[in-house]
Amino acid sequence: MTTKKSRYRRQIIKELFFSRLLSGTELSAKIDKSIPLTNKLLSELVSEGVVVEDHLGVSSGGRRPIVYSITSDALYVVSVAMDQLFTKIAIMDMSHRFVTQVDKISLPLANNEQALSRLSEEIQKVIQASGIAPSKIAGIGIAMPGFVDAQKGINHTFLKGQEKSVTETIAEVTGCQVFIDNDSSLIALAEQRFGAHKYHDNTLVINLGWGVGLGMILNGRLFRGDNGFAGEFSHIPLFTNNKLCECGKTGCLETETSLLVILEKAIKGLEEGRVSMLENLSVDNPETGFEAIIKAANKGDAFATELLSEVGYSIGRGVAVLIHILNPKMVIISGRGANAGKVWEAPIQQALNVHCIPRLAQNVKLSISAMGANAELMGAASLVMDNYEVYN
């Protein structure tokens, strides 16, 4: 049956994309098919030039296996990473390399009826400029903020109010499969697939940005919740601080921990005469403001360090709640805020020590992501290839 065979082929391609190098036996285990069948499919793929016999692998005591890899130009993935103001578009090949410049365009999402059609056009432009045939594109993956229902392909916060779903709209313009998901979930997926600790089955990824997002890998797969809205870490009612959150409630984690809060605190502190190398901060320019604070902290500026420590401790309190509920193996701090690096470790760990039952805290490894600014693009690509086997 032709459609079944095509699914197996896609599974092989998917596994080779993520693992790079695999022997026939390893592939057979991954796709849960017998070795003879896997080898038959592999030799077909090799004769088509999609897969190559890379070299002989190392042996752990026995015949050396032929190791296979996928050719870089066999397929391409279009990755899109959006935030409320800017959208990045890039095309990745099967070697995880971006074959185009990462295209960064200004695309404000709030109250923007044109946003979806703009997005479709820009994606289509990038594809056409690349000269890659649509048949060679495995799909388009999009990471976006807001309440995203990945199943239905819609976003309840942005790009809404159209008749057709986001995925359908873009699919019609480009002729490619389209997948969307929430930015924090996709950062978690990127960490699981490409990160330094990709083998763990229970990982929480904190997306520290203008809000505080949470992506969860539970039982080895991305957990999205019943409507795709899981991970609303920003708005758990954790403080009794009477600070009004933009969600309308008070005491949300976000009121004490987002990068915007850090910036506001910095500005207020400076106004009150705190001594610091920081100057000229403004809420109108959050990106550069936050970068300045990080730079100052890394140079040892006491005020900047104090700011980050305070916020780190609050994040840690939130993480302590997560650890009690989910008993993860690993917690990764990622997102834009992770650029501050090691500064976060001590205060967060300190909060975990104070607020966690020791047995639970002991089992958790805290780590600051090194993936940097590309995490969302990597996650979007993972989303496409994760789903690649499903469609034929």
Asked if 25 interacts with DNA (CB under 7 A), we say yes
What does 349 interact with, of a copy of itself, DNA, none (CB < 5 to 8 A by kind)?
Answer: none
| Sole binder of DNA in the list 60, 219, 280, 362 (CB under 7 A) | 60
Tracing tokens 């971006």 back to the chain, one arrives at 98
CA distance 16 to 25: 13
| C-alpha neighbours within 13 Å on the C-beta side of residue 305 | 10
> Please, which of residues 214-243 interact with a copy of itself by CB under 8 A?
214, 218-219, 221, 223-233, 235-238, 240
65 binds DNA (CB under 7 A): yes
CB 82, CB 107: distance < 8 Å: yes
Q: Toward DNA, which CB reaches closer, 68 or 239?
A: 68
Alpha carbon distance 159, 186 (integer Å): 18
* Least CB distance to a copy of itself at residue 24 (A): 23
Report which DSSP code applies to 31.
H
Q: Nearest approach, Cβ of 184 to a copy of itself (angstroms)?
A: 12
Q: What is residue 243's three-state secondary structure?
A: coil
Give me the least distance between CB of 234 and a copy of itself, in Å please.
8
The reply on whether position 39 binds DNA by CB under 7 A is yes
When asked if residue 324 is in the footprint of a copy of itself (CB under 8 A), the reply is yes
Binds DNA by CB under 7 A, chosen from 18, 46, 52, 66: 66
Query: Sign of torsion, CA 390 223 141 373?
Result: negative
Output the smallest distance, CB 34 to DNA, in A.
3
Binding a copy of itself by CB under 8 A: which of 37, 247, 283, 373?
247
If you write DSSP's letter for every residue of 163-224 in order, what string do you get? SS-HHHHHHHHH-S-EEEEEHHHHHHHHHHHHSTTTT-SSEEEEEESSSEEEEEEETTEEE-
Do 151 and 180 contact (CB within 8 A), yes or no? Answer: no
345-357 burial by CB neighbour count: b if 16+ within 10 A, else e? Answer: eebbbebbeebbe
Q: Which of 6, 21, 34, 172 binds DNA (CB under 7 A)?
A: 34
User: 88-147: which residues touch a copy of itself (CB under 8 A)?
Assistant: 147
Q: Which is nearer to DNA, 8 or 147 (CB)?
A: 8
Residues at the interface with DNA (CB under 7 A): 1, 4-5, 8, 23-26, 32-37, 39, 56, 59-66
